Structure 1
Amino acid sequence: MTFSVAPATSVAGVTLPPGPASPGAARIVGISLGHATLAEADHWIGGLSPAPVLACTHLVSAPHPHVAISLLTALPFETTPELAPAASAAATGQSGRAVRFPGVERLTGELTVSEILQRSSISRIEVLGSGPADPDTVVDTGDFVRPQFRGGELVLVTTPAAGGRLIPFERRDPTPCCADH
């Protein structure tokens, strides 16, 4: 079962054609394969060829807690009937965690907030609990950037790090809670 929604004018900086999706046209497709973790879903997305323009993960609870995926793609994808509600929720969701998005491959190493905004479709960079990040502040990407998709735009949430730098809130290898106990 394939799910799609009518294209919007713009999704994360990618302009879509107006009207219903025609065969071969890019559209948002929801997929639910029952991935148990974000890492499993990220790995599956990373193996897609051709890579989708936009790929987001979505935590869903029905029929059981798992990670569903939405893709901006021209390719069809299948979802088993029991996971169809999760696929539909992913396709029509107004939020998600972006794994693939325009410019992601250019967000490596240390970049200023301004450079990240210029090189990618990320619309804003926020400091957790503090508001917008200063354009001249350096962000150590750790070569792993997962902005949040919120209402049609990508927002990268960061936290302060040593040396006045910022790091993305989500890290590739986070320190487990209570790791030092």
Structure 2
Amino acid sequence: MTTPYDPSGVHPVIGVDAGTTTLREADHLIRDLATTLGLPPGTVACTHLIRTDTRRGTSVSFALPEGDEPAEAIWRRLTATEMGAALDNRRHGPAEAAALAAAEHTARRSGRAVLFPGSDQLTGTVTVADLLQLTAIDGVFVVGATWGEAPDPVTPVHTQDHVRPEWREGQLILALVPAAGNALAPFEVPNPTPCCADHP
């Protein structure tokens, strides 16, 4: 991996709710906040679908590298905004959805990762082996294949510059589907949630 990420470590997780309703909006929010909040390298940023009595939409969460300083600095910046935010037992603004997102990410039960260590390596075509060795993705599975049957490590993966693994039972897992030329591609396609072309 380009940036060490030890999943067994304790990572402060901040949840944020800016009123987004779609995954595309949440993807853009993550990219914007990565810049405006100064998220440090090694951050894992996820989107979450929120369905409560009072909120239908998406929120986001950020698992930060270990250490209190980055989390405290980011929390201070968030509390200067009107967005809902949650960190540990602290709440700011309309924070119900933010707290739900943070709890899911902390437990690694759910969350669709947009930013994660090595995500910048996943452009064009890479092999399954590179995908697992260069990033924080723990595993892959091919939709429709026998569960537990791993693809050949040299199989090419056409990333389409849009790779969104999800937390499943504590691991960051990427769903793949067969593609032309005995290759694979991420299950989630760029549309309707395209990669944010207006972001670096």
The residue aligned with 2:151 is: 133
Identity %: 40
Q: 1:137 to 1:149 in 2, by over 3 A?
A: same
1:38 counterpart (23, 44, 63): 23
Measured in 2, the distance between the counterparts of 1:129 and 1:82 equals 43
Q: Which has the higher helix share?
A: 2
Q: Which has the higher strand share?
A: 1
Match status 1:102 vs 2:117: yes
The residue aligned with 2:170 is: 152
Q: Name the SS for the 1:173 alignment partner.
A: coil
1:87 counterpart (76, 90, 98): 98
Matching residue's letter, 2:100:
A
The residue aligned with 1:72 is: 63
Cα displacement string for residues 113-150 of structure 1 (whole angstroms, at most 9, x for unaligned residues): 00100110101011012133221211000111100112
Pick which of 135-144 and 49-58 moved more: 49-58
Measured in 2, the distance between the counterparts of 1:127 and 1:173 equals 20
Measured in 2, the distance between the counterparts of 1:69 and 1:154 equals 16
Shift of 1:151: 2.8
The count of residues paired between Structure 1 and Structure 2 equals 156
Cα displacement string for residues 151-178 of structure 1 (whole angstroms, at most 9, x for unaligned residues): 3321010110111110100111259xxx
Shift of 1:82: 7.3
Measured in 1, the distance between the counterparts of 2:144 and 2:50 equals 25
Q: Please provide the CA RMSD for this pair.
A: 2.1
The residue aligned with 1:120 is: 135
Measured in 1, the distance between the counterparts of 2:14 and 2:185 equals 31
Confirm or deny: 8 A CA contact 1:139 1:167 kept in the other structure.
yes
Q: Provide TM-score, normalisation by structure 2.
A: 0.71
1:51 counterpart (36, 39, 56): 39
Q: Name the SS for the 2:138 alignment partner.
A: strand
1:172 counterpart (190, 195, 198): 190
Q: Provide TM-score, normalisation by structure 1.
A: 0.78
The residue aligned with 1:28 is: 13
Task: Please list every run of 5 or more consecutive structure 2 residues that lacks an aligned counterpart in the other structure.
Answer: 65-70, 86-91, 194-200
The residue aligned with 2:160 is: 142
Measured in 2, the distance between the counterparts of 1:157 and 1:13 equals 22
Q: 1:92 to 1:128 in 2, by over 3 A?
A: same
Q: Name the SS for the 2:102 alignment partner.
A: helix
Matching residue's letter, 2:103:
T
Confirm or deny: 8 A CA contact 1:32 1:86 kept in the other structure.
yes
Task: Please list every run of 5 or more consecutive structure 1 residues that lacks an aligned counterpart in the other structure.
Answer: 1-11, 18-25, 176-181
